């Protein structure tokens, strides 16, 4: 007899409370139908959140996850979307994996594997801003991104903590954790505002939406830092809710580029440096 999926059951029950019927496509994919329309949702992030919570909290977590889907549906059907003047202070931005389905989302590529999207912060939910919405607001794409970044910066800076790890490989390395915002990944665009960069920029990872790690690039100690960051990136991407990337990037003078690609199997982790990063290594002192 198959084991019950209690989290999926909690989500279906929350959906019924909101007037939706559910069709389960797979363990993590559900289609909802109701008077407000139809939408499909994934439970993958919900499962990661629930993994660290007692079962008694699962219904509330499922209801929050459902609310995000409903908010996106309402935006898509223009329910509750006012004039641009009414929503401009709620416009935000953050980074997403480039492989994530986007449809009509306002987005732009910032580095291999990473895209920046414009979103609408609606108190307890975040929904994507689409080009259709942008055209109705009569706002250019460049201006919309500029506004979104200004609003994120106006929310305040991230918290920076020099992180120490119980790992001999990380001993003495100034690895910084940047966190404290739903839009933490957007701050990589202005990473130079933080005391985490060196003469040749910084190595940075964005394993999940709410935090980043950075290491200042000054010398060949960056190789040791890269090995530590690779493990953090892979583990965070595999385990944290809302994963973003398991690659390692280089920030330099406001630009983000791919530094190291990580490839993992059950028994090994391979680090593959980009051509540009290998060239940089040849210029760094020991």
Q: pLDDT under 50 in the chain at which residues? A: 79-80
**Among 122, 155, 188, which residue terminates a domain?**
155
Query: 136 with 115, same domain?
Result: yes
Query: 115 with 32, same domain?
Result: no
Contact 207, 188 (CB under 8 A): no
* Inside any domain, residue 10: yes
Query: 164 with 276, same domain?
Result: yes
Query: 42 with 134, same domain?
Result: no
Query: Could you tell me the pTM of the whole model?
Result: 0.84
The answer to whether the Cα torsion of 80, 85, 87, 92 is positive or negative is: positive
Q: Give the pLDDT score at 80.
A: 47
Q: What angle do CA 153, 254, 178 make, to 5 degrees?
A: 50
Query: 255 with 191, same domain?
Result: yes
Query: 191 with 262, same domain?
Result: yes
* Inside any domain, residue 286: no
Query: 34 with 101, same domain?
Result: no
Query: 111 with 175, same domain?
Result: no
* Inside any domain, residue 88: yes
For the stretch 75-85, pLDDT in tens is: 666 544 568 99
Judged on CB neighbours under 10 Å (0-12, 13-18, 19+), 285 is exposed
* Inside any domain, residue 25: yes
* Inside any domain, residue 235: yes
Cβ neighbours of residue 30 under 8 Å, at least 6 residues apart?
8, 11, 12, 15, 22, 23, 24, 40, 41, 43
**Among 79, 108, 139, which residue terminates a domain?**
79
Q: Give the pLDDT score at 77.
A: 62
Q: Give the pLDDT score at 156.
A: 97
CA atoms within 13 A on the CB side of 55: 5
How many folded domains does the chain comprise? 3
Query: 146 with 169, same domain?
Result: no
**Among 12, 47, 79, which residue terminates a domain?**
79
- Three-state secondary-structure class, residue 161: strand
Q: Give the pLDDT score at 23.
A: 87
For the stretch 168-180, pLDDT in tens is: 888 999 999 999 9
Query: 163 with 260, same domain?
Result: yes
Q: 113: domain range?
A: 81-155
* Inside any domain, residue 72: yes
Query: 195 with 258, same domain?
Result: yes
Judged on CB neighbours under 10 Å (0-12, 13-18, 19+), 129 is buried
Q: Give the pLDDT score at 110.
A: 97
Query: 165 with 250, same domain?
Result: yes
Q: Give the pLDDT score at 193.
A: 97
* Inside any domain, residue 170: yes
């Amino acid at each position: 007899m198959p084991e019950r999926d209690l989290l999926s059951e909690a989500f279906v029950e929350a959906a019924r409370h909101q007037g939706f019927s559910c069709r389960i496509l797979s363990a993590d994919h559900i289609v909802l139908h109701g008077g407000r329309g139809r939408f499909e949702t994934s439970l993958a992030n919900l499962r990661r959140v629930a993994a660290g919570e007692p079962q008694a909290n699962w219904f509330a977590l499922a209801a929050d996850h459902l609310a995000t889907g409903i908010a996106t549906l309402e935006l898509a059907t223009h329910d509750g979307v006012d004039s641009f003047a009414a929503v401009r202070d709620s416009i935000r931005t953050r980074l997403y994996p480039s492989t994530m389905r986007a449809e009509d989302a306002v987005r732009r590529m910032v580095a291999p594997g990473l895209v920046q999207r414009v979103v609408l912060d609606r108190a307890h939910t975040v929904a994507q801003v689409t080009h259709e919405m942008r055209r109705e607001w009569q706002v250019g794409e460049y201006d919309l991104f500029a506004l979104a970044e200004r609003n994120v910066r106006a929310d305040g800076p991230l918290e920076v903590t020099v992180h120490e790890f119980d790992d001999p490989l990380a001993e003495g390395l100034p690895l910084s954790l940047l966190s404290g915002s739903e839009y933490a990944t957007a701050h990589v665009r202005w990473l130079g505002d933080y005391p985490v960069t060196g003469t040749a920029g910084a190595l940075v990872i964005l394993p999940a939406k709410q935090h980043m790690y950075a290491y200042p690039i000054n010398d060949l100690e960056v190789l040791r830092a890269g090995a530590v960051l690779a493990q953090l990136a892979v583990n965070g991407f595999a385990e944290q809710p809302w994963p973003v990337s398991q690659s390692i990037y280089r920030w330099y003078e406001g630009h983000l580029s791919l530094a190291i690609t990580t490839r993992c199997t059950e028994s090994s982790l391979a680090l593959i440096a980009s051509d540009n990063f290998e060239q940089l290594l040849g210029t760094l002192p020991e």
